[in-house]
Structure 1
Amino acid sequence: MPTFEVTPRFARDFARLSPDQQRRFRRVIVEHFVPDVEAGSFRPGLRVKGVQAAAGVYEMTWAPDGRATWQYGEEKTAGTPHVVWRRIGTHGIFTPPPGP
């Protein structure tokens, strides 16, 4: 099973999700994401793709308007993928902050 960590920003984003959104995300991770990471390929329904503006960062769809970004980190256990969760929320998490 892959190991995981979250960035402080992910933790703040996650806390802003409704309890139903939090449950849905966790269910998708357990039922779909973890098995796909272990298999080495992602099912089309997760719509995992690279983030253009950030090399090595991926976006995943976990609900119709639910997105999360993540990247692979340094393995904590040899031969086991390590996932670093970066952001979570709606498609709005990809909108840059306003102005300088």
Structure 2
Amino acid sequence: MHRPRYPPRSAPFSTNNPRPLADCGQGLRASRRRALPTYEALPRFTTDLRRLSPAQRRRFRHAVGSLVDDLRTGRPIRPGLRVKRVQRSTGVYELTWANGRGPAGRATWHYGPERRPGTPHVVWRRIGDHDILTNP
């Protein structure tokens, strides 16, 4: 079944459109982009990320997209991401996702000082499988 596009392609740019641009499709996407959380990656995270297979990186990006949506909107983080605190590490969190037939993928992070007021700042620490939890 074909569903029509909303808003129509001409709606954001129409001179007869009484709604401001922020209420149209283009404006909403632009305002959401500004509200995205900021992030940085520690060198060890970058090294771990290079060791992942392309499929594992793809699954991580998908999980991070869901996490970003939740942080951006202020909703509680969805249970499917299995976010929890790492034991014996103050302020460090773990994100878990399925990795197909292999072991579950994990990434650890902590919240850093806000770079933009009112926007969370995520500092990625490690990524891999369960072994990263020995030194998150």
Please confirm whether the aligned pair reaches a TM-score higher than 0.5, indicating the same fold.
yes
CA shift digits 1:22-61 (9 cap, x unpaired): 111112212x110111224111111111111111000110
SS of equivalent residue, structure 2 residue 108: strand
The correspondence for 1:3, drawn from 38, 42, 46, is 38
Output the amino acid matched with 1:34.
V
Output the amino acid matched with 2:122.
V
User: Are 1:12 and 2:47 counterparts?
Assistant: yes
Aligned to 1:37: 71
* TM-score, normalising length: structure 1: 0.88
Aligned to 1:92: 131
Q: More strand per residue: 1 or 2?
A: 1
* TM-score, normalising length: structure 2: 0.66
User: Are 1:46 and 2:85 counterparts?
Assistant: no
Would you identify which runs of 4 or more consecutive aligned residues in structure 1 move more than 4 Å? none
The 2-side partners of 1:21 and 1:67 are apart by 10
The correspondence for 2:120, drawn from 50, 75, 81, is 81
Give aligned-pair identity as a percent.
59
Output the amino acid matched with 2:132.
I
Unaligned runs of 5+ in 1: none
The 2-side partners of 1:52 and 1:95 are apart by 10
Output the amino acid matched with 2:91.
G
Q: CA deviation at 1:17?
A: 0.2
Aligned residues: 95
